[in-house]
Chains A and B, each alone.
Chain A
Amino acid sequence: MDYSQFLAMKQEIGLLVVFLLVFLYDTFMPQRSGKALPVFTTVLMLAATVAGFFPCLLGTGSMSAFAGMYETSPIVCAIKGVLNIGVVIVLIQSYVWADSAPMQQRRGEYLELTLLTLFGMYLMISARHFLLFVIGLETASLPLATMVALDKDHYESREAAVKYILTAIFSSAVFMMGLSYVYGLSGSLYFNDIAVNIASQMSPLLIIAMVFVMAGIGFKLSLVPFHLWTADVYQGAPTSVTSYLSVISKGSAAFAFLVILAQAFGTIYADTWEWMLYALIVLTITIGNLFAMRQRNMKRFLAFSSVSQAGYIMLGVIAFNVTGMASLVYYILVYIFSNLAAFGVIQAIENATGKLSMDDYKGLYKTNPRLSFAMMLAMFSLAGIPPFAGFFSKFFIFTGAIAQRSVAIYVLVLIALINTIISLYYYLLVVKAMFISPDECVIPTFKSACSERLGLWITVAGIILLGIVSCVYNWLSGIAVM
């Protein structure tokens, strides 16, 4: 056996080491030192993130393990690094919540499950065989249901967990149903073999298989019409878990989706999934936006906003080229920073006052100018306003999509662009509540915790710098390969 193949899995191994250390610390250290556990985890994750970047920056080619079931390449390392950064921010933002009285008993579970689901996402991203992919998918989904239920004293949290696990299981079933057809048609579960074997045999069965496969992943990404669980789960879950769900879980699924479609089904791009994805994107962006307009609860609001954002991310998939891939990873990175800035503000306010409604945000600028400023930047970045990072990521993902140069794609991008105006409307509603609405000032002036401020500083710095400082995108562009 060639042990050098484990080197390819250095990021997974690093993550497992982090997990084991956290687990041992949680199990064997005395109860009173549990307070340091989140910080301990963050530091280890940070180390793993930094370590994971290094060979990637040096630009090694792709490596595979387990007879080609697992594959890694610089862009794969990059997306894992991006997810790691997101997880570090999520962890920092969750300190206050993890320290709250009901959570003290469950602090360890929260951290360990977070790391485990992340491990599952790594496998989804790196899998080049559907068996490994399904293992990753389940590892990433099932523990998430437990995380959603962590606020078990709240009815909504338990309800959300049930909804989440039922949809997760159902979508896995649908997905594997599709896989069985694919296996029947191609005789293999290796992505490369599938691509070769199905290229010549377009059949109704293949289209049905594609429908099932896309529906299965559609659930995970909450693409319309598979998005119905999103709002309730996002609202019911603890806010830290919601932010994890909305950025990390979504980002990893989007990249995994790109890999599957490009590698396993790339040969039947124009015949099948281009049009399916086309319809999904139009529906996702439009319906996500239309529903977001009417939301007053901030978490529900961001749930629908994240539904429509997933539609924009899918533009990078339908582009089916290197620019699209680089833009997709870049979009996910920017989206992580923007959305986590928004969630950071929501968490800070929730922890201090328990308020979650947009109506309570009225006059926030008068009482908490810095928080409102951070929220405004997050909203502008999500809406794609320059000079913030969101503008660049939207522009590049559109540019990548239009490289197809077909009229249909122009129409698709136009629909997406018109939708950015709708999204601008509801993002501006938040800005309006904070800055313009007549003084009601429901939320008093408060001092947010050190960790919350640190999280916001990091995300705000990211929002401002990721776009203007072009080296991030240029680097991603350099390592992206289809």
Chain B
Amino acid sequence: MFSNILIYFVVIPLLMLAGLALCKNIKQIRAVAVVGSLALTALSVYLLVDFLALRAAGDTAPMLYLGSWEWFGPLNINLSVGVDGISIAMLLLSSIIVFAGSFASWTIDQPKEFFLWLILLSTGVFGFFISIDLFTMFMFYEVALIPMYLLIGVWGSGRKEYSAMKLTLMLMGGSAFLMLGLIGIYYHSAPVGAERTWDLLEIARNGSISTGWQYFLFPMTFVGFGVLGAMFPFHTWSPDGHASAPTAVSMLHAGVLMKLGGYGCFRVAIYLMPEAAHDLAWIFLVLTGISVVYGAFSACVQTDLKYINAYSSVSHCGLVLFAILMLNTTAMTGAIMQMLSHGLMTALFFALIGQIYGRTHTRDITKMGGLMQIMPYLSVCYVIAGMASLGLPGLSGFVAEMTIFVGSFAHTDMFHRVFTVLACCSIVITAVYILRVVGKLLFGPVQDEHHRQLTDATWWERVSTVTLIVCVAAIGCFPNFFANLIRATFTPEIFTVLGLN
């Protein structure tokens, strides 16, 4: 079991939990968090290199590093792991954000409990991305959700009790539909008489879910994951949750957790039920189209920095699901790029907002201004994050959105064209709300004279932001590297399943 490299993505966080339990003071806790997340990052980089080497050597299997160990034999539940380019990209993203998040919560209260929950959350996230067994996937998915309640409830700000409860219940509500969908898939996973399975690859190979059942199970799973992907009208947990959460949790949540939704929609709903995906995509295209435009408009009128970014996340994550539903290689590649890009830049945004809030004790943009004169480092970072968000070439946002819209435009019918154009409009609206904040917050006159005494970023804050900026720029400058990594996944096999181009 331990000869499989993927297992260590779960083992390392568990070791970190054990290490935390032994910690006596904050220095040891920080050491555990930093060493652990560095180890995870190193592991995912190694995995990336090794994976590319294997692909270069001509290994074209859809998933590599496969491993399977029996768990609940009578129900044929196994602990099965395997990754492809998309999972590796997600693992890399998660480990970087956990790393940056550890630095962003350098001076948190009750650090032991905080990191305990944070690492439990990341255990769920890593476990989810390496699983290819529906049961374990779902289990890790829920493991990642529940720590949010305590993280927001205890360490949050504002209406934290309300937001924590709302977020938890809505996400768990989504997972209720998801659970039903997954059990349903299990019972249709194999032809009558054959042994049923929870294994994603086998279910896709068997292809025995009849179209009628797909019409029932596809919405269940897509909505179930879609709630976490902030799909309209199930997005309302997201602004409140993000606004109340402490910095590192907002980073992890917007940066990684929301990606679980998009990833799940692709990996389970579309991959296993391509016919229903093809036929029902229009319903969800309408909904995600609304997410994209509505999220962007909402962000324009908010005055709380976190709300602005939370609505911007709704818009950007909506675009992820929107692109996935286009069901072609280009758009889907764009969707995965958008996940990476949005994960990194939103994490950067939330880190910066947390750092600004920690100094000014307000997030209201009408009460702040001229921060460029006071804290130039943070302000410059904020501008970079903003530019990435509105799609400036050279940063990650441009690459992702460009790919998505090119892919979407490949559809020649009126319906897809109209929605693509509408979604494209969101780019302009994004520019409006980003520039509004940048103008008011950073370049306007100083609103509060007390702010003049504030200091610029400390070294740990710089570590956290620099890490993220480097990654955002890396995607922007070397898009082909990432696109190839991802595109290798959309092997002919998947598209024979999808029955499309």
Contacts and interface: CB of A to CB of B under 8 A. Distances in A.
A20 interface: no
Interface stretch (A45-53, A178-186, A412-420): A412-420
B404 to A, nearest CB: 33
Question: Which of B140, B154, B161, B179 has most A Cβ within 10 Å?
Answer: B179
A473 B72 contact: yes
B179 A398 contact: yes
A417 B142 CA distance: 14
Given A386-B142, A436-B164, A478-B74, 5 more contacts: A386-B139, A387-B143, A396-B75, A424-B168, A428-B165
Nearest to A418: B176
B177 A399 contact: no
Contacts of A399: 75, 183, 186
A424 B169 contact: yes
Interface of A: 323, 326, 380, 385-387, 391, 395-396, 398-399, 402-403, 405, 410, 413-414, 417-418, 420-421, 424-425, 428, 431-432, 435-436, 470, 473-474, 477-478
A223 to B, nearest CB: 22
A428 B179 contact: no
B150 interface: yes
A425 B74 contact: no
Given A398-B179, A474-B74, A405 B142 contact: no
A470 B70 CA distance: 9
A321 to B, nearest CB: 12
B173 A398 contact: no
Given A405-B187, A425-B165, A432-B153, A417 B177 contact: yes
Contacts of A403: 187
B481 interface: no
Contact of A402 (B146, B173, B183): B183
Contact of A380 (B146, B173, B177, B216): B146
Contacts of A414: 176-177, 180
Given A323-B75, A380-B146, A399-B75, A418 B173 contact: yes
A417 B187 contact: no
A421 B176 contact: yes
A435 B184 CA distance: 37
A417 B180 contact: yes
Contacts of B46: none
Interface in B355-392: none
Contact of B168 (A405, A428, A474): A428
Contact of B150 (A402, A431, A473): A431
Given A386-B139, A395-B135, A410-B180, A326 B154 contact: no
A399 B177 CA distance: 14
Contacts of B161: 432, 436
Contacts of A424: 168-169, 172
Contacts of A386: 139-140, 142-143
Contacts of A396: 72, 75
B430 to A, nearest CB: 34
Interface string B149-172: 110011000001100110011001
Given A402-B187, A428-B165, A477 B74 contact: yes
Closest CB pairs A-B (n = 9): A477-B74, A417-B176, A436-B153, A386-B139, A421-B173, A386-B142, A470-B72, A385-B146, A402-B183
A413 B183 contact: yes
A136 to B, nearest CB: 30
B71 interface: yes
A424 B146 CA distance: 10
B193 interface: no
Contact of A391 (B142, B154, B180): B142
A413 B186 CA distance: 15
A413 B74 contact: no
B493 to A, nearest CB: 29
Contacts of B58: none
A420 B176 contact: yes
Given A413-B180, A436-B154, A428 B149 contact: yes
B23 to A, nearest CB: 15
Nearest to A476: B74
Given A385-B146, A420-B176, A410 B184 contact: yes
A474 B72 contact: yes
A97 to B, nearest CB: 32
B74 A402 contact: no
A470 B139 CA distance: 14
A478 B183 CA distance: 21
Nearest to B217: A410
Interface string B243-272: 000000000000000000000000000000
A385 B177 CA distance: 15
Contacts of B172: 420-421, 424
A435 B150 CA distance: 8
A414 B184 CA distance: 11
Nearest to B136: A386
A410 B217 CA distance: 11
Question: Which of B146, B150, B164 has most A Cβ within 10 Å?
Answer: B146
B179 A432 contact: no
Contact of A385 (B142, B164, B180): B142
A294 to B, nearest CB: 16
A47 B164 CA distance: 47
Nearest to B70: A470
A142 to B, nearest CB: 39
Contacts of A425: 165, 169
Interface string B125-143: 0000000000100011011
A104 to B, nearest CB: 41
Contacts of B74: 323, 326, 473-474, 477-478
Contact of B169 (A402, A413, A421): A421
Nearest to A474: B73
Interface in B99-113: none
Contacts of B168: 424, 428
Contacts of A385: 142, 146
A297 B176 CA distance: 29
A398 B72 CA distance: 15
Contacts of B140: 386
A336 B173 CA distance: 26
B316 to A, nearest CB: 27
Given A385-B142, A403-B187, A432-B161, A470 B180 contact: no
Contact of A431 (B142, B149, B216): B149
Contacts of A405: 187
Nearest to A380: B146
17 contacts: A323-B75, A385-B146, A395-B183, A396-B75, A402-B187, A403-B187, A410-B180, A413-B183, A417-B177, A418-B176, A421-B172, A421-B176, A425-B169, A432-B165, A470-B71, A477-B73, A477-B74
B85 to A, nearest CB: 28
Contact of B139 (A387, A428, A473): A387
Contacts of B216: 410
Contacts of A420: 172, 176
A413 B178 CA distance: 12
A410 B142 CA distance: 21
A66 to B, nearest CB: 33
B298 to A, nearest CB: 26
Nearest to B135: A395
Contacts of B186: 399
Question: Which of A323, A403, A424, A477 has most B Cβ within 10 Å?
Answer: A424
A402 B73 contact: no
